[in-house]
Structure 1
Amino acid sequence: MRMDGLVCKRLVKEEISYTNEAKAQEEKVQRMEAQAEDFYVLRKQKEVLQESKMMVPDCHRRLAKAHADLLQLLETEEDLAESEEYKEARNVLDSVELEG
């Protein structure tokens, strides 16, 4: 249970990081466009932006799967409800917000 909870926590952090990275890259591309930067440099930065944007849904899919796996594990191991690991896993599960 502990590992599944840690996986969910890590994936939440990853998703936030990729989302922030994509926003920052988008702002950078917009600045570069406004400053009429070199075409090839701008094109490369747009490629980086697309890669960053692609990572967000991939990470979200992995998070949704880890969330479902942890939920299933908790449902099958309800007899351990008083253990610290179970409580910690339940807290992680409850803290993860899955959207879309």
Structure 2
Amino acid sequence: MTLKELKIKTNVVKRIYKEHIGYGKEAEYQQKRIDKLIADNADEADVRKQKEVLDETLQMIPDVKQRFAKAYKELEDKVEDPQYEGSDELQEARTVLAEITIEE
């Protein structure tokens, strides 16, 4: 694997992590929106539609977690390769692995 591929794997982990965080925030936002609609006695169709949006968001979270875990593991494996020793790309990959953890 080349340094470019290591950099790509590092960026994949960062991108999927951001996606995971985004879906979590979206789910929280949707739940608050549904709660507000219910509190305001909104039309049942509006509430039902927002629940559908929330369900779609929640369905994406396991997929993103799985893709993130796979990408994270692949990056962990590549960091162990001695051919990258001393490179900036290796340092960045190690930093990303240290800052981002897999949540269960």
In structure 2, C-alpha distance between the alignment counterparts of 1:80 and 1:44, rounded to whole Å: 50
**Structure 1 residues without counterparts, runs of 5 or longer:** none
In structure 2, C-alpha distance between the alignment counterparts of 1:33 and 1:78, rounded to whole Å: 58
Q: Which of these residues, 74, 97, 102, is aligned with residue 98 of structure 1?
A: 102
Alpha-carbon displacement from aligned partner over 1:41-83 (angstroms, at most 9, x marks no partner):
11111000111112222211111100001111122x2232211
Q: Which of these residues, 1, 6, 28, is aligned with residue 23 of structure 1?
A: 28
Look up the match of 1:50: 55
Give the aligned residue type for 1:18: Y
Structure 1 segment 1-100 matched on structure 2, within 5 A: 1-75=6-80, 77-100=81-104
TM-score w.r.t. structure 2 length?
Answer: 0.89
In structure 1, C-alpha distance between the alignment counterparts of 2:96 and 2:27, rounded to whole Å: 26
Moved over 6 A (4+): none
Give the aligned residue type for 2:17: V
Pick which of 25-34 and 57-66 moved more.
57-66
Look up the match of 2:3: none
Question: Across the two proteins, how many residue pairs are aligned to each other?
Answer: 99
CA RMSD of aligned residues (A): 1.0
Identity of aligned pairs, percent? 37
